């Protein structure tokens, strides 16, 4: 490990903050992570209730190589510290007319099995999946692996190739528009439209470029971390501590401190952070706090990038974490119960800003893979619907309404009354997201991607005004999700000299 005498403060122990801490330590910095909560992980955390364990946020794990990379960088064999298995099938989809469809791993198997159940041919499905792969290859360098805000990054061969093929990446159609052109069966269109929810957007507004998300899951694969999603946080925090990162929990940063540049130069540079324990000096500060709140709460007198910060925010969620006293053999790890009118569902979320009467429900059950996550013959249900972010709605009323609608829908599709099986309940709604992770308006995924310029409107990984101040995590470039947050940490720390 390189050794410098420089120090770095990371604000927030979300997955991106932890990854940034590991990378900065590997650059030789003395690193302290300040976390407002008493626990690490932010959205990627865990809670238990009456013998049931729940992952509180992310449940679908893709691109595990970005976790492995952090162990390798630190001179360790990832397999001795963190393990995962590939999922096949990945998803089970349920429709109101009784159709169930399993989504398998790998283009060939996915196309073959879906074509047996739905109206589209294996050839057409393969053609579509090849196209999303091509789009991924063209866009990854531009949108995922580099800062979008450094001119020199546009001068590489791979990035130039992506830019020169802009017409091929679907920037001028919506996800739904492209999927409807590709397929006859509305069920397949709905299955593929759902990937817009991975960054909290509407498939009727988001550019078709985002259809690349399906490529990551279908072809590159989805995985289950042994022990559940929280093992990602747990193993990375242990790695960070092992290489000398200091964590300070229950210690929110109250202000980012700045000072003038030396020798009469105009502009500002980082001085340190202020916590309840006082002012602490640091050479570099990386904020993993949502960028909107970083400016609002920690940099009250700094010049703000108003246009970036005022972009519409993503959707949020209502989750019931239910302990279920029953074993459902027809369910897998990831289950989706679709609504009948997807367009109306998204319009209700993004235009009417309320919850839909017949929401698409996602049920995640980790006890299918980790038996100790629930008592014998029971299951731990993470039961999720997409909802608008918090603009002051009556969430107590909406949560009660959602519980009733969701139970009714699940009873209808599973043909059994689940109400008497619910033996314990915890709830997440946008207010909880906001309180627990300081995410602006309780939006789960930062800015929405509901227009073709959204990727360019995410905040850069560095401050243009304050030297030594950087940002990482789901609210800045390249965006939300575990893999993108890990890439965000990589891009951000790559910018620090």
Ligand X SMILES: Cc1cc2nc3c(=O)[nH]c(=O)nc-3n(C[C@H](O)[C@H](O)[C@H](O)COP(=O)(O)OP(=O)(O)OC[C@H]3O[C@@H](n4cnc5c(N)ncnc54)[C@H](O)[C@@H]3O)c2cc1C
Q: How far apart are CA 110 and CA 124, in angstroms?
A: 12
Kindly state the DSSP code that residue 476 receives in the 8-state scheme.
B
**Region from 41-49, 76-84, 94-102, 144-152 binding ligand X, contact rule CB under 6 A:** 41-49
Smallest separation (angstroms) from ligand X to the CB of 439: 6
CB of 152 to ligand X, least distance (A): 26
Residues 455-494 that bind ligand X (CB under 6 A): 473-474, 480-482, 485
Contact call for residue 349 and ligand X (CB under 6 A): no
Q: What are phi and psi of 46, to 5 degrees?
A: -135, 150
**Distance between CA 102 and CA 125 in Å, rounded?**
15
> Please, what is the minimum distance in Å from the beta carbon of residue 265 to ligand X?
29
Report 303-342 residues binding ligand X (CB under 6 A): 317, 319
DSSP 460: P
Q: Which is nearer to ligand X, 222 or 378 (CB)?
A: 222
Angle 15-26/65-73 helices, nearest 10 degrees? 30
Pairing of the two strands 466-467 and 268-275: parallel
With CB under 6 A as the contact rule, the residue among 21, 25, 54, 59 that binds ligand X is 59
Q: Is 36 near ligand X (CB under 6 A)? A: yes
Instruction: Tell me if 12 contacts ligand X by CB under 6 A.
Output: yes
Q: Is 253 in the site for ligand X (CB under 6 A)?
A: yes
* 144 touching ligand X, by CB under 6 A: no
Q: Can you tell me the distance from the alpha carbon of 105 to that of 129, in angstroms, rounded to the nearest whole number?
A: 12
CA 342 to chain CA centroid, nearest Å: 22
* Best CA proximity match to 485, nearest among 140, 16, 143: 16
Q: How far is the CB of 479 from ligand X (least distance, A)?
A: 8
Q: What string marks each residue from 396 to 415 as x (binds ligand X by CB under 6 A) or -?
A: --------------------
Stretch that binds ligand X, among 34-42, 98-106, 124-132, 261-269 (CB under 6 A): 34-42
Residue 430 contacts ligand X per CB under 6 A: no
41: left (phi over 0), alpha (psi -120 to 50) or beta: left
Q: Which of 60, 67, 208, 496 binds ligand X (CB under 6 A)?
A: 60
DSSP string, 135-156: HHHHHIIIIISS-TT-GGGGGS
Residue 388 binds to ligand X (criterion: CB under 6 A):
no
Q: Which of 22, 24, 44, 169 binds ligand X (CB under 6 A)?
A: 44
Smallest distance, Å, CB 80 to ligand X?
Answer: 24
**Rounded Cα–Cα distance for residues 308 and 346 (Å):** 24
| Contact indicator for 284, 7 with CB cutoff of 8 Å | yes
Regarding 57 and contact with ligand X (CB under 6 A), the answer is: yes
- Which of these segments, 35-43, 130-138, 207-215, 343-351, binds ligand X (CB under 6 A)? 35-43
Tell me, rounded to whole angstroms, the distance of Cα 69 from its chain centroid: 19
Phi, psi of 472 (to 5 degrees): -145, 160
Number of residues located near ligand X, criterion CB under 6 A: 35
**Six-digit token string for 261:** 């540049």
| Residue from 8, 30, 34, 471 in contact with ligand X (CB under 6 A) | 34
Q: Does 289 bind ligand X (CB under 6 A)?
A: yes
Cβ closest to ligand X, residue 78 vs residue 473:
473
Site for ligand X contains 228 (CB under 6 A): no
Query: Of 9, 53, 58, 237, which one interacts with ligand X (CB under 6 A)?
Result: 58
Q: SS3 for 366?
A: helix
Structure tokens that stand for 361 in this block:
């429900």
DSSP 222-264: EEEETT-THHHHHHHHHHHHHTT-EEETT--EEEEEEEEPSTT
Positions that interact with ligand X (CB under 6 A): 11-17, 34-37, 42-44, 57-60, 252-253, 288-289, 317, 319, 433, 437-439, 444, 473-474, 480-482, 485
């Amino acid at each position: 490990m390189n050794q410098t005498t420089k120090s770095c403060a990371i604000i927030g122990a979300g997955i991106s903050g932890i990854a940034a801490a590991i990378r900065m330590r590997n650059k030789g910095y003395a690193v302290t992570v300040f976390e407002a909560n008493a626990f690490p992980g932010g959205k990627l955390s865990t809670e238990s209730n009456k013998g049931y364990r729940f992952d509180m946020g992310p449940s679908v794990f893709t691109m595990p190589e970005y976790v492995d990379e952090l162990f390798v960088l630190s001179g360790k064999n990832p397999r001795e510290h963190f393990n995962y298995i590939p999922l096949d099938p990945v998803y089970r989809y349920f429709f109101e007319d009784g159709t169930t469809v399993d989504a398998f791993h790998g283009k060939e198997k996915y196309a073959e099995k879906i074509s047996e159940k739905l109206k589209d041919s294996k050839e057409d499905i393969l053609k579509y999946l090849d196209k999303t792969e091509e789009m991924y290859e063209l866009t990854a360098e531009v949108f995922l692996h580099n800062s979008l805000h450094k001119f020199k990054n546009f001068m590489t061969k791979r990035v130039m190739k992506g830019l020169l093929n802009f017409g091929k990446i679907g920037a001028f159609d919506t996800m739904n528009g492209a999927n409807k052109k590709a397929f006859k069966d509305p069920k397949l269109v709905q299955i593929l439209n759902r990937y817009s929810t991975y960054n909290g957007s509407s498939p009727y507004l988001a550019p078709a470029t985002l259809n690349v998300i399906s490529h990551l899951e279908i072809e590159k694969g989805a995985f289950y971390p042994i022990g559940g999603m929280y093992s990602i946080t747990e193993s990375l925090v242990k790695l960070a501590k092992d290489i000398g990162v200091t964590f300070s929990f229950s210690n929110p940063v109250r202000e980012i401190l700045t000072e003038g540049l030396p020798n009469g130069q105009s502009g500002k540079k980082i001085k340190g952070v202020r916590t309840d324990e006082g002012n602490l000096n640091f050479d570099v500060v990386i904020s993993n706090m949502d960028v909107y709140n970083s400016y609002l709460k920690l940099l009250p007198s700094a010049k703000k990038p108003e246009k970036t910060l005022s972009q519409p925010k993503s959707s949020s969620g209502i989750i019931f974490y239910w302990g279920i006293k029953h074993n459902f053999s027809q369910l897998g790890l990831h289950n989706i119960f679709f609504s009948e009118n997807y367009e109306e569902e998204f319009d209700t979320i993004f235009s009417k800003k309320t919850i839909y009467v017949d929401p698409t429900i996602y049920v995640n059950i980790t006890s299918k893979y980790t038996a100790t996550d629930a008592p014998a013959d029971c299951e731990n249900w993470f039961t999720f619907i997409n909802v608008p972010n918090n603009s002051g709605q009556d969430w107590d009323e909406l949560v009660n309404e959602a519980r009733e609608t969701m139970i009714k829908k699940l009873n209808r599709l599973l043909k059994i009354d689940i109400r008497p099986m619910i033996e314990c309940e915890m709830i997440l709604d946008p207010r909880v997201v906001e309180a627990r992770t300081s995410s602006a308006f309780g939006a789960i995924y930062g800015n929405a991607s509901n227009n073709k310029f959204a990727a360019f409107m995410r905040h850069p990984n560095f401050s243009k005004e304050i030297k030594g101040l950087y940002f990482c995590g789901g609210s800045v470039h390249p965006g939300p999700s575990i893999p993108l947050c890990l890439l965000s940490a990589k891009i951000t720390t790559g910018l620090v000299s």
